[in-house]
Amino acid sequence: MESFAERIQLMAVQIVPFIMAVVFHEFAHGFVANRWGDSTARDAGRLTLNPIPHLDPIGTVLFPLINMLSGINLLFGWARPVPINPTRFTKYRPGLFWVSLAGPGMNFLLAVLSAAAYCTLVRWVPTTFYLFEPLVAMAYVSISLNYALGIFNLIPLPPLDGSKMIQSFLSYDATRKYEALSQYSFFILLGLLWAGAFNLLGYPIRFFSNTTVFGMAALFGIPGAN
């Protein structure tokens, strides 16, 4: 069983990739929304990579602390959602789809870049460098963490991004009925968590993480990758 000191050490490795993952996720939503004609996020000062405006007391403070105290191996949480007004999109349906996909898409991109950073460190940075181990650990954690966040947000349950992508294909009446599920979403997610259904997400997360690391290692010519 992990000691409290070991949990602190694990969280110290995870916290930077975690904050980057949630902040870049929200920034991507706002950036793409602005490209589709909705400047709401920009006007609210949220079109920034500065983490402070994106921090959520529960999602980026309380949940990580709970993770640390409970010994969960992978941090989970969220940032404050950027304000989006789909009625301002130049084209509603494609705008809603691409803005919703932007967040998970950014996480998948960060996962690939993290794998590249990991392989760069392993390939060219000497192990005697005093920050070698924490940087390698952060880069490696960032891969699975970003895949976890991206895949989770693709769950088609309001208000997650996956539901918004589906809404971009629905009629107005169907969208209203679909959005009505949001009042039960927390309890549905809690029930799925207790039932162990989220364990199923571990399979695609591990598959994409391992595949990305393996492919990047082969690209960088790291021994043992072939």
Catalytic entry in 2, 6, 26, 133: 26
Give a yes or no: residue 8 inside a domain.
yes
- The residue-averaged pLDDT of 183-210 equals 85
- Which residue is it, tokens 């705008």? 95
Q: Residue 226 falls within a domain, yes or no?
A: no
**pTM (2 decimals)?**
0.92
Cα–Cα distance measured from residue 117 to residue 208, given in angstroms and rounded to the nearest whole number: 16
The answer as to whether 203 is a domain residue is: yes
Q: Closest by alpha carbon to 38, among 80, 84, 79?
A: 84
Lowest mean pLDDT among 51-55, 192-196, 218-222: 192-196
Lowest-confidence pick of 17-26, 41-50, 56-65, 113-122: 56-65
Q: What is the pLDDT of residues 173-188, one digit of tens each?
A: 999 999 998 888 888 8
225 assigned to some structural domain: no
Residue-range definition of the domain harbouring residue 50: 4-220
Is 26 among the residues known to form the active site? Answer: yes
pLDDT, one tens digit per residue, over 71-102 is: 666 667 789 999 999 999 999 999 999 999 99
| Residue 193 in domain | yes
For the chain, how many structural domains are there in total? 1
